[in-house]
Amino acid sequence: MDLVVHASSLSPSLLVTDGRAILSAVVGVIGLSIIPSSPRSFTDESLDYLGALLLILALGFFNFAWNQGPVVGWPVPYVYALLILSVVFAAAFYFWEKRMGDKALIPTEVLSRNSLLVYLCLFLGWMSFGLYALYLVLL
């Protein structure tokens, strides 16, 4: 009797979450067996730490500024300062990666106009996460 009462009180979202976890594990195992290994191996010497830091700062400041603007108001000076800093760090990242050549974190051939649409879609998708989280709470 207690088991029936306990089982009926379980949240249906628990079952959905467990199902998603199992599905993610299955897809991960299939992906590991299908996707070929990278021909380029990374070591501590070949990893571009400065490039990674510049990219993290550029994207982090840009995202933080656009999320803080509606919260604290656009006239607040640090919002614009972070936007300007994000552009500066993005430019520094591009020029640093150009200078690194073969050891670049993201090769400059990938940063071309041909792949701009893909990057724009990724950018807009990541930026819309804040709106998704906002509307999810409001529902």
Torsion of CA 41, 47, 51, 55, to 10 degrees: 60
pTM: 0.57
Burial of 89 (0-12, 13-18, 19+ CB in 10 A): buried
Q: Whole-angstrom Cα distance, residue 135 to residue 28?
A: 30
Encoding tokens for residue 75? 């006239």
Residue 19 sits at the vertex; the CA angle it makes with 13 and 20, to the nearest 5 degrees, is 90
pLDDT tens digit sequence for 48-75: 889 899 999 999 999 899 889 888 888 8
Higher-pLDDT residue of 71 and 3 is 71
Encoding tokens for residue 99? 């200078």
What is the model's pLDDT at position 121?
87
What is the model's pLDDT at position 2?
53
Task: Write out the DSSP string of 24-93.
Answer: HHHHHHHHHHHSPPPSS---TTTS-HHHHHHHHHHHHHHHHHHHHHHHH-TTSHHHHHHHHHHHHHHHHH
What is the model's pLDDT at position 53?
94
**Residue found by looking up tokens 């996707």 in the block:** 35
pLDDT tens digit sequence for 26-55: 999 998 889 887 766 656 567 788 989 999
Confidence of residue 94 (pLDDT cuts 50, 70, 90): confident
pLDDT tens digit sequence for 98-118: 888 777 777 777 777 778 788
pLDDT tens digit sequence for 4-22: 555 555 555 555 566 778 8
